[in-house]
Amino acid sequence: MGCGASTQGPPSNVDPPLPTPPPDAKPSAPPPPPDKPAAKPAATPAATPAPLESGGSKGTPLAKPGQKGKYDMQALFAQFDADGDGKLDIYEIARAFRALGLPKRSGEKMDIDKATFKSFDTNGDGYVTMEELDANLYDKTREKIEACIDKGWKFDKKTWDESVARHKKYDMKQIFAQFDADGDGKLDIYEIARAFRALGLPKRDGTKMDMDKAMFKSFDTNGDGLVSMEELDANMKPKTRRKIEMCLDKGWKFD
């Protein structure tokens, strides 16, 4: 061995030097911050209830601006207008009062008489428009109707239609079959026109009711130019039916 060479290694208590990082090495990224608690979702505002439409909670329309009372009496009684002509005769109003079940002072149900009907029929044409009825309805009667509605009364079309059917007094199919000259079970416009003239049905102006093309078409629902007894019976307006019934009640007979 050469002169002065040591045979011992480096001292055992000295750590070896750390390796030098290459010059292009990037410092390690700092650790991510701890997760934040998730934000609470914003509270959904409570839905605002939709306002009640003009119709009331009982199914009868509320009174319009300028009308008397709580409810729209024109809309109420229009439901009892069986043939939809915008007017009520004494029979329709009488059944409407009975359907409402209005009480009299004695506890019985209120009914309509000729004097009461005339108090509504201000123009004397034998019919009461919805405007006439609303304008001439006594305050106490109006209050009784409102009390019925407040208690839950509602118009029931099915029950009303059944009531109209029950009040049919005569079989119109048999009545008009007598005017079927050729016995084919159908009437043309001329046969129905002659039947109306023979019955002498009155019009509002006092003249006799006649048959026109528009009225004939209202009966002739299948458009074949002829009216069967079933079509005539099914499509006859209640007011026309009552006029015929009144003629029969007075003793009219087919000759």
Q: Average pLDDT for residues 186-203, to the nearest whole number? A: 84
Residue 190 lies in a domain: yes
CB of 144 closer than 8 Å to CB of 153 = no
- Helix segments in 56-188, DSSP class H: 73-78, 90-100, 114-120, 130-136, 139-150, 157-166, 172-177
CB atoms inside a 10 Å sphere around CB 86: 12
Q: Average pLDDT for residues 106-115, to the nearest whole number? A: 68
Last residue of a domain, one of 138, 166, 194: 166
Whether pLDDT at 25 is above 70? no
**21-35, 37-51, 225-239: which is most confident:** 225-239
Q: How confident is the model at residue 250 (pLDDT cuts 50, 70, 90)?
A: confident
Q: Average pLDDT for residues 57-85, to the nearest whole number? A: 84
Q: How confident is the model at residue 111 (pLDDT cuts 50, 70, 90)?
A: low
The whole-angstrom separation of Cα 103 and Cα 106 is 8
Whether pLDDT at 128 is above 90? yes
The whole-angstrom separation of Cα 94 and Cα 88 is 10
Last residue of a domain, one of 166, 197, 215: 166
Residue 32 lies in a domain: no
Last residue of a domain, one of 141, 166, 191: 166
pLDDT digits (tens, 9 = 90+) for 200-210: 876 655 566 56
pTM of this structure: 0.50
CB atoms inside a 10 Å sphere around CB 69: 15
Residues 150 and 228 in one domain: no
Residues 156 and 214 in one domain: no
The pLDDT score that the predictor gives to residue 48 is 35
The pLDDT score that the predictor gives to residue 115 is 86
CB of 88 closer than 8 Å to CB of 74 = no
CA dihedral for 191, 195, 197, 201, sign (positive or negative): negative
Q: DSSP secondary structure string, 173-188?
A: HHHHHTT-TT-SSEE-
> pLDDT exceeding 70 applies to what percent of the chain?
68
The pLDDT score that the predictor gives to residue 33 is 55
Domain extent, residue 237, equals 172-249
